[in-house]
Amino acid sequence: MDGNLAEKIEKLEAQLPLWEKGLFAAYGAAITMLANSIARGFEKSYLTSAFFKSLENIDPAAFTENAPPIILTDPVALNLQRALFVPYWQVLGFFLLIVILMPGAWLVFHSTWRQVSLAKRQSLIFGYLLADWIVLLSLGAQDPLNMSDGYNILVIFYLLALGLGYGWLRRKKDRAEEVFP
């Protein structure tokens, strides 16, 4: 029985390089998403200031609840407004969050992978979680001034928990490997 279990664990450990390739793909998607979000943020601010500057000259009372809505009649401004506020970018971001989180969660919680020592899969797990954090960060990088405080707190606590958890597990692993001098 132990020989069969040892073979099973060896086969699982042989699959770890495939999971590493998936991690490289996750980092590629996350970094691309972050770079594109930063570029879109600049583009959005420039286009908004160029085409909707006329809205800044409107009396602030026009933005109250009982005021009539401001109707844009210029077709170019209407198309730009639609393009700037399309939610597809957030949908893609949430899809990537789930897709990148799944392999990390699979390596942590699946009963088959729990047979492999945590030390051998720990870097992969935290790598997937870090790629997921980059995607989470990219969701706010597009419009950082309009992000809620809850989002900002989530991003900071996610990174702190990730760093502290990794450091704690590494320290625990290093202490476990110490042998009498």
Residue 84: per-residue pLDDT: 73
Q: Which of 44-53, 57-66, 85-94 has the weakest average pLDDT? A: 57-66
Mean pLDDT over 29-53 rounds to: 84
Q: Which of 27-31, 122-126, 174-178 has the weakest average pLDDT? A: 174-178
**What does pTM read for this prediction?**
0.78
Mean pLDDT over 69-97 rounds to: 78
Residue 42: per-residue pLDDT: 86
CA angle 94, 98, 99 (to 5 degrees): 115
* Average pLDDT in the chain: 82
Mean pLDDT over 155-175 rounds to: 87
What would the pLDDT profile of 93-145 be if each residue is shown by its tens digit? Answer: 999 999 999 999 999 998 888 888 888 888 999 999 999 999 999 998 887 77
Has residue 181 got a pLDDT over 70?
Answer: no
Residue 171: per-residue pLDDT: 82
Residue 127: per-residue pLDDT: 95
